């Protein structure tokens, strides 16, 4: 896969004293491929790669990093900067009640879902939002919004369900009457750019003068994203973007295209169908995702949320002190109950494969055998499996009643996982801004 290719390229560069222009060209070829495969628009790719190359040729090389790490750092920094250097929070107008937020975008992009998620997010922040059902073209659209509104306990204003502009206007009055401080206007989209749709969005915008217009963009849109966002920028204009469906396979390259072509910030990413899956956009995470380097930070935060503290303590200790045989045994035992580490490993380039090898499908029987072998190791061997030479392997095989091949295989599995941990350590400690794994 692409991620493996990147890792391989950097693997080849690793250990060299200095980067030659050839090295940089090789790395840039892989990065170019990575970006294209992540659906970054080809023109944007061309420009980005040229800038990166320039930076690599001229940037100060940090001696604490390997040449390969230096390239990764420069590329990541560059990508992060282009995506927006700060977290793009939603800015509400202080002097206007209610604040009006309007969502626009193609049909199916995720507007209605995002409207509800945004309402839920604002509600949790202490606001009192109202949802305005201004998609009057599809009969089920208002019902969909109402269902979502009920789920999150947010009022939905439907009006007569016929005239989108009128519904929008009335929803503001309804918010005033109901002492709601925010109105979120859900609008209609078409499958393609369409004159009538654009005009209606403009009419609603003129009628309610939103404080923020957010365009919802499906992360899976591909190369065409450039045309779609440019059209909306020209016709309706918007203040920021919600990128939806990032829980899918899309690597999110569209985010870079959107930034580059419109200059508008990405404000939120939508990561699923549940109402709480709207997240503030983090450029650094998106940069790693686009380059296929695993969204380590997000995953660690996610792990923090869903797994117990012990898993996290374990993961942190493993990062700090190294991955021992005892850790491997624990992880194998936990692997089916979806331990934190499994998720983290699976998010890394090549991680899925390592997991498979390390026991993605281990049976209880296999675990018992592995347990026997690990228990036949000394404390020192378990802590430093690299010291287990041929002689020791024979002894362990004998002691556990397993074959030397099986011991070899176990050590290979450990080595795969240890490599993965190494990559993770690099990603969490390395790179421009150092991050702790928590």
The binding site for GTP consists of: 105-112, 186-190, 244-247
Region from 40-48, 244-252, 313-321, 421-429 binding ligand GDP, contact rule CB under 6 A: 244-252
State the nearest-atom distance from the C-beta of 271 to ligand GDP, in Å: 6
Query: Which of 174, 180, 221, 244 forms a contact with ligand GDP (CB under 6 A)?
Result: 244
Half-sphere exposure of 327 (CA within 13 A, CB side): 28
Beta pairing, strands 266-270 & 240-244: parallel
Instruction: Map the footprint of ligand GDP across residues 78-117, applying CB under 6 A.
Output: 105, 107-113
Between 39 and 181, name the residue whose CB sits nearer to ligand GDP. 39
State the nearest-atom distance from the C-beta of 269 to ligand GDP, in Å: 8
Query: Which of 149, 189, 240, 252 forms a contact with ligand GDP (CB under 6 A)?
Result: 189
State the nearest-atom distance from the C-beta of 235 to Mg ion, in Å: 19
d(CA 140, CA 147): 11
State the nearest-atom distance from the C-beta of 3 to ligand GDP, in Å: 22
State the nearest-atom distance from the C-beta of 185 to Mg ion, in Å: 12
Region from 6-14, 227-235, 271-279, 318-326 binding ligand GDP, contact rule CB under 6 A: 271-279
Query: Which of 41, 70, 112, 212 forms a contact with Mg ion (CB under 5 A)?
Result: 112
Region from 21-29, 135-143, 285-293, 416-424 binding Mg ion, contact rule CB under 5 A: 135-143
Point out which residues pair with 132 in neighbouring strands: 157, 185
d(CA 24, CA 166): 58
d(CA 267, CA 250): 18
- Find, among 212, 220, 230, the residue nearest to 99 by Cα: 212
The verdict on 221 binding ligand GDP (CB under 6 A) reads: no
244 binds, among ligand GDP, Mg ion, none (CB under 5 to 8 A by kind): ligand GDP
Q: Can you give the binding site for Mg ion, defined by CB under 5 A?
A: 111-112, 135
Q: Can you give the binding site for ligand GDP, defined by CB under 6 A?
A: 105, 107-113, 189, 216, 244-245, 247-248, 270-273
């Amino acid at each position: 896969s692409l991620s493996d290719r990147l890792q391989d390229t950097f693997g080849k560069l690793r250990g060299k004293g200095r980067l030659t222009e050839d090295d940089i060209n090789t790395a840039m070829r892989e990065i170019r491929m990575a970006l294209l495969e992540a659906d970054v628009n080809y023109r944007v790719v061309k420009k980005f790669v040229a800038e990166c190359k320039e930076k690599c040729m001229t940037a100060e090389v940090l001696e604490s990093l390997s040449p390969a790490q230096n390239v990764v750092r420069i590329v990541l920094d560059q990508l992060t900067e282009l995506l927006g250097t700060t977290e793009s929070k939603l800015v509400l107008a202080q002097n206007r009640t209610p604040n009006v937020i309007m969502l626009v975008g193609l049909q199916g992009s995720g507007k209605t879902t995002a409207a509800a998620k945004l309402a839920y997010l604002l509600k949790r922040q202490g606001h009192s939002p109202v949802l305005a059902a201004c998609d009057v073209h599809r009969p089920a659209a208002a019902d969909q919004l109402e269902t979502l509104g009920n789920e999150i306990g947010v009022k939905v204003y439907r009006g007569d369900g016929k005239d989108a502009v009128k519904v929008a206007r009335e929803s503001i009055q309804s918010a005033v009457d109901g002492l709601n401080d925010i109105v979120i206007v859900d609008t209609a989209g078409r499958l393609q750019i369409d004159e009538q749709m654009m005009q209606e969005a403009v009419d609603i915008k003129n009628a309610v003068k939103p404080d923020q217009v957010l365009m919802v963009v499906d992360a899976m849109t591909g190369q065409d994203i450039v045309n779609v966002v440019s059209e909306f920028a020209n016709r309706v204009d918007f203040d920021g973007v919600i990128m939806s469906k990032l829980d899918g396979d899309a690597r999110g390259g569209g985010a870079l295209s959107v930034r580059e072509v419109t200059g508008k910030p990405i404000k939120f990413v939508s990561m699923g169908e549940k109402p709480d899956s709207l997240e503030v956009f983090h450029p650094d995470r998106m940069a790693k995702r686009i380059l296929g380097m695993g969204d380590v930070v997000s995953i660690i935060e996610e792990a923090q949320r869903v797994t117990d503290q012990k898993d996290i303590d374990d993961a942190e200790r493993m990062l700090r002190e190294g991955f021992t045989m005892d850790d491997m045994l624990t992880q194998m035992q936990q692997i089916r109950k979806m331990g934190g580490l499994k998720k983290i490993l699976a998010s890394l380039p090549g991680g899925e494969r390592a997991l498979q090898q390390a026991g993605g499908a281990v049976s209880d029987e296999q675990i018992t055998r592995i347990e026997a072998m690990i228990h036949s190791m000394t404390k020192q061997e378990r802590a430093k499996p690299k010291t287990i030479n041929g002689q020791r392997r024979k002894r362990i095989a004998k002691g556990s009643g397993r074959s030397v091949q099986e011991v070899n295989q176990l050590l290979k599995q450990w080595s795969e996982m240890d490599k993965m941990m190494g990559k993770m350590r690099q990603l969490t400690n390395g790179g421009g801004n150092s991050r702790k794994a928590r």
